[in-house]
Homo-oligomer: A and B are copies of this chain.
Amino acid sequence: MKQPGGIANKLSELGYRLTPQRIMVLSAIEDSDNHISVEEIYAQIVAKYPQVNISTVYRTLELLKRLGLVTETDLGGGRVRYHSAEKGHHHHLVCQECGAIIDLDESVLSSLKDTLLREYKFIAGLRHLAIFGRCVNCSR
């Protein structure tokens, strides 16, 4: 079992139990440089502890998401992907034709968020958005 990082500390500070299962999910996300899928997280865990159930992984991700510690993004392909909220991140443009994924800076959605807050008094989530469409190569 790896050492729990920053997310683990926050979890126990908030009164949640630090189970081995949770620590393993956390480690998988923190150790991953890019967006990681449930399948990938579970594969890492099950290699060491085969008795762990995948529903526990789903439940842990649900918790981390709700607490704002990880973000969830649908990048296509029928499975969502996760990312540590601590690390800086991008939104993404996903080409539905060729599958290309273009990174988009956090700031691109700022003015939209501002408008929604100003004109609709609505605090938009939009923490890690993927926008589907067509890239320049595929739009001829």
Contact = CB atoms under 8 A, between A and B. Distances in A.
B133 A126 contact: yes
Given A93-B122, A93-B124, A111-B111, A116 B131 contact: yes
* Residue from the set A96, A132, A133, A139 with the largest chain B CB neighbour count within 10 Å: A133
What bracket does the count of chain A residues touching chain B fall in?
20 to 34
Contacts of A96: 125
Q: SS class of chain A's interface: helix, strand, loop or mixed?
A: mixed
Interface string A73-103: 0000000000000000000010110000010
A69 interface: no
B120 A125 contact: no
B111 A123 contact: no
A107 to B, nearest CB: 11
Contact of A139 (B95, B108, B123): B123
Interface in A4-42: none
A123 B98 CA distance: 13
Given A96-B125, A109-B112, A104 B131 contact: no
Interface in A110-131: 111-112, 115-116, 120-126, 131
